Amino acid sequence: MSIHPIDFRYGSQEMKDVFEENQKLDYLLKVEVALVEALADFGKIPREAANGIKSKATSEFVKLERIKEIEKETRHDIMALVKAITEVTGEAGKYVHLTATSYDIVDTALALQLRDGLDILIEKGKELLNHCLDFAEKHKELVMIGRTHGQHAIPITLGFKFANYSHNIAQSLERLEEDKKYAVGRFAGAVGNYSAQQLYDLGEDLEKKVMEKLGIESVKISTQVVGRENLARIICDIAIFAGSIEQIAKEIRNLQRTEIGELSEPFGKKQVGSSTMAQKKNPVNTENICSNVKIIRSCVYPALENIALEHERDITNSAAERTIIPTTFILMDEVLRRMNRLMTKGLVVFPENMKKNLELTKGTIMSESVITALVKKGMGRQKAHEILRTCSHKALAENIHLKQVLLQNEIVSKHFDSKELDQVMDYQNYIGLSVEKTEKIIKDYKLII
């Protein structure tokens, strides 16, 4: 029976497969096989023994159920794995795990897992970047109000908003690509000083050979474990990426508010918003994204706590990592899946509401434009600001357009007639470099997809 929502509700099968028990076993077995092959390459064990172990050290022969049975006795998961491999490999089994300590196997297998998980996130992140860039291109000239502190500020374009999101996504993708260098293995023995390896006159050479076979790098130095700073960096960067997507989701949710109505999630023909309020069209996908990002963010704290292990290591990281690693990756996969699906189905845009909202504050959003124009006419900036402050407040208080108030002002009317004010207060003339910056972002980041 499934209990955790990750089992039945969140995450793609592709990502779940990376963290599924049998797949984790496959990663561990690959490392044990790479070890005996490397030992054979150096002539330290017979080649036939290494081949025999390789042929049997697969999930076809080494069963997860058997490992769990042994673990009940040993109360040690990796020793249970070693015994299970030994059982099916006959005489060759005496070479299984030779020179290794548990976390030579565990951390190296984890590196393979992290690499594969990051590849999936990067692929889906690039898909989202492409959707956001396309959306930015389509709406690069669609003027809407920009907001700061929840208040109307000055005009921007919808494309410019999504160009900003695209930039943040692209930066996170660059970080995740870099983070693959932190998915490193180790083969340095009980406290990281290669004592067992040196008994065979191999030292770091065995470690290098094992990593070469697995296609990953080894950490430069370690204790009994790879420093948990590496894992913390990966989880932190995933959480930052999640936060950037949460920002998009939160913006869609806010702009879908009835009183704003500028954007909306697509809504299916048979979709239900409420069991009682039949009119409701709730932003369920973006709310789900914001909710799951909270859990991803909560995984950062234990990842940071796990850095400071005692002496050459203790086991206080282990139980936490069993939870936070798959949770972070699978929920991030879900966040990306939902946002990609939302963008693919078509984010709904309401230009008429954007225009209505631009007019909502009676032209006062163009105060900065008028201030700048007055300064260009020779007025001091602070004087111009005070005039626009008082005129704007009057326009809002009396529910009349700012232009009307300005034309009644003796000082302003000396500088501008009605036609000139129309030009200065035209929203289309005050979007700055919104279009140009959007086009530059599109050009820059289309290259990395």
Q: Annotated active-site positions, please?
A: 149, 274
Please state the φ and ψ torsions of residue 63, each to the nearest 5 degrees.
-90, 140
Give, to the nearest 10 degrees, the angle between helix 64-74 and helix 21-41: 80
Residue with tokens 């492409």: 130
How far is 414 from 374, CA to CA, in rounded Å?
A: 10
Give the DSSP letter of residue 217.
P
Spatial CB neighbours of 321, under 8 Å, sequence gap ≥ 6: 231, 306
How far is 297 from 147, CA to CA, in rounded Å?
A: 26
Contact assessment for residue 8 and residue 113, using Cβ atoms and an 8 Å cutoff: no
Give the DSSP letter of residue 426.
-
Alpha helices in 139-203 (DSSP H): 158-179, 195-199
Residue with tokens 């930052």: 240
How far is 440 from 436, CA to CA, in rounded Å?
A: 6
Structure tokens at 246: 């949460």
Reference 381, options 372, 392, 390; nearest CA is 372
Identify the three-state secondary structure at position 189.
Answer: coil
CA 58 to chain centre: 33
The neighbour count for residue 195, using CB atoms within 10 Å, is 14
